[in-house]
């Protein structure tokens, strides 16, 4: 099975960002600083507290991040798309991610079914939320 795990770059804000995302999405964090890594001696002193590799795991969702990317500060053309069948939970996550960011499309009914919203978070990363309700069953197969 092939899976895709987004890897976000930050310029010294990876810890803060991953803690923020954990407050929005739940889950557990695993963080390795430069100072705690085998490459610490090769990295300048001012970068020792940077996150070399971090991951947030929440159920099947895995979001990776680092302060060590070369493209920090560049415009990113990636959007992180979340999908849920639970409107209440989706709204909580959407509103939490929007704190300090910009909602570019409010979470609202979509023409394709369910709800859709889009935002840019406080770190400049783009998110989409699709809420597709599960079909109602009447107990018969």
32, 56, 72 - which closes a domain? 72
Same domain, 8 and 65: yes
Same domain, 18 and 31: yes
pTM: 0.79
Q: Tokens for 37? A: 């890594």
Over the chain, what is the mean pLDDT? Answer: 89
Provide the pLDDT for residue 111.
80
On whether the CB atoms of residues 100 and 108 are closer than 8 A, the answer is no
Angle at 106 between CA 103 and CA 107, to 5 degrees: 125
- Say which residues have a Cβ less than 8 Å from residue 21's Cβ, sequence separation at least 6: 56, 63, 97
Same domain, 97 and 129: yes
pLDDT range class, residue 71, cuts 50, 70, 90:
low
- Say which residues have a Cβ less than 8 Å from residue 31's Cβ, sequence separation at least 6: 15, 18, 51, 53, 54
Provide the pLDDT for residue 3.
72
Domain count, the chain: 2
56, 72, 88 - which closes a domain? 72
Residue 141 lies in a domain: no
Please determine, for residue 1, whether its predicted confidence score (pLDDT) is greater than 80.
Answer: no
Specify the CATH number for the domain of residue 114.
3.30.720.110
Of the listed ranges 18-22, 54-58, 77-81, 82-86, the one predicted with least confidence: 77-81
């Amino acid at each position: 099975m092939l899976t895709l795990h987004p890897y976000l770059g930050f310029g010294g804000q990876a810890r803060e960002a991953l803690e923020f995302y954990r407050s929005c999405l739940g889950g557990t964090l695993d963080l390795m600083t430069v100072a705690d890594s085998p490459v610490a001696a090769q990295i300048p002193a001012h970068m020792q507290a940077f996150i070399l590799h971090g991951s947030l795991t929440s159920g099947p969702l895995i979001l990776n991040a680092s302060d060590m990317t070369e493209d920090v500060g560049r415009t990113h053309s990636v959007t992180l798309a979340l999908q849920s069948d639970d409107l209440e939970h989706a709204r909580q996550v959407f509103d939490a991610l929007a704190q300090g960011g910009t909602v570019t499309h409010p979470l609202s009914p979509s023409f394709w079914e369910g709800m859709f919203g889009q935002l840019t978070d406080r770190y400049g990363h783009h998110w989409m939320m699709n809420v597709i309700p599960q079909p109602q069953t009447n107990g018969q197969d």
